[in-house]
Amino acid sequence: MAQITTLQTTLDHLVNSDTDIPKNHLQYYSDLDPKSLQLFMDAWPRVKPTRKLLLLDELLIHLDTDTIVSYEEIGRALLDDSDGDVRSRAIRLLAESDDPKLASKFVDMFLNDADLAPRMEATTLLGEFILLGELEKLKESLQRKIEDAMIAVIRSEDNPSLRKRALEALSYSSRPEIAALIESAFERADPTWVASALRAMGRSHDERWNDDVVNRMLDDDPRIRFAAVEAAGELNIEDAGPILIKMLEDEEEDDDVVAAAIWSLSQIGGDDARIYLLNLIENTEDEDLVEFLEDALENLEFNTELNKFDLLSLDDDDDELFEEDEEEIVEDE
């Protein structure tokens, strides 16, 4: 009862006040039970449109900074809201959910929503469901349904931004026809399509694209450079390491490309990358940049340890195979 009373007070402030939403109010929107959710939905029509978006934006920020809270109930409840901006934010509130029922709902929104923003957000999360399918954590039939919907949109005359987003999301799939879609986008004259193709290459984790990615890392268009740099890290292309360091030494390089280059170095790893990142930390006074560099260095160390573990696992597998071969030889004798 106390929780409901507190939520009611919080909702009264949301409905009746024009002031900012207090940070300590955000916790009361988390993990709503059915009665609390009903209170929220009863109050929702009385909230001004601008305050609806303000609240949802605050919840999304809080969700990124606090791993304990969950606004999934609100997200689900608002998927059918009449406002497209509300629906798009509702989808983002569900980013951590792997409920297959949501995947089917997102497919419907991706194909049929009246507004572009919800379709774009649905596409992004559907990519995560495709990845779950590749990890055998989603029914094959549902993964196929998602992929078929995306392929249909990519090949259509639908909104270009949506088709590019769909290509990037679809690239997690190992279906053989995906490569042709990526190649077709990469060969377009439009740099935004080329950038999307490069992002798709990175997400595919397919070494066939390594040369294409490296060849575009120094492209004149910053959008293409940015996408190629990100893809180089995703694909763990060792030959890209020296190019990334060269880009970081270019004082005129775009800030977004610099940040992507730093992170890609941390994904690729190696002694040269570690030394370079350490030198950057020692010679940087910007506190935010130092924090980002330290995160990158931590990521590099994590990936290095992970690679060592993988190598040890392979060695163990080789030993087991060797022992099995010995047993077979003994049995043959």
Average pLDDT, the chain: 92
Residue 333 has pLDDT above 50, yes or no: no
**Is residue 314 domain-resident?**
yes
In the chain, the percentage of residues whose pLDDT exceeds 70 is 91
Whether 104 is in a domain gets the answer no
**44 inside domain:** no
Position 329 pLDDT exceeds 90? no
Structure-token match 């774009």, residue found: 120
Closest CA to 192 of 144, 235, 160, 157: 160
The Cα–Cα gap between 97 and 117 comes to: 19
Question: What pLDDT is recorded for position 114?
Answer: 97
pTM of the predicted structure, to 2 decimals: 0.87
- Are residues 154 and 145 in contact, defined by beta-carbon separation less than 8 angstroms? no
Residue in the structure block whose two tokens are 């997400």: 203
Model confidence pLDDT, tens digit, residues 29-66: 999 999 999 999 999 999 999 999 999 999 999 999 99
pLDDT at 258: 94
Query: Does residue 90 lie within any of the structural domains?
Result: no
Sign of CA dihedral 201, 206, 208, 213: positive
pLDDT at 254: 87
Rounded-to-integer distance, Cα 67 and Cα 69, Å:
6
Smallest CA-to-CA distance from 292 within 268, 319, 257, 263 is with 263
- Tokens at 6, concatenated: 């507190």
Confidence of residue 304 (pLDDT cuts 50, 70, 90): confident
The model's pLDDT over 184-210, given as tens digits with 9 standing for 90+, comes to: 999 999 999 999 999 999 999 999 999
Q: Quick: pLDDT tens for 112-144.
A: 999 999 999 999 999 999 999 999 999 999 999
Is 303 contained in some domain? yes
Looking at this protein, which amino acid is placed at residue 36?
A: S
Domain encompassing residue 235: 218-333
Residue 210 lies in a domain: no
Q: How many domains does the chain have?
A: 1
Any domain includes 319:
yes
Indicate whether 43 belongs to any domain: no
How many Å apart are CA 167 and CA 38, to the nearest integer?
A: 38
Token pair of 309, please?
């573990």
**Span 61-112, pLDDT tens digits:** 999 999 899 999 999 999 999 999 999 999 999 999 999 999 999 999 999 9
For 9-23, what is each residue's pLDDT tens digit?
999 999 999 899 999
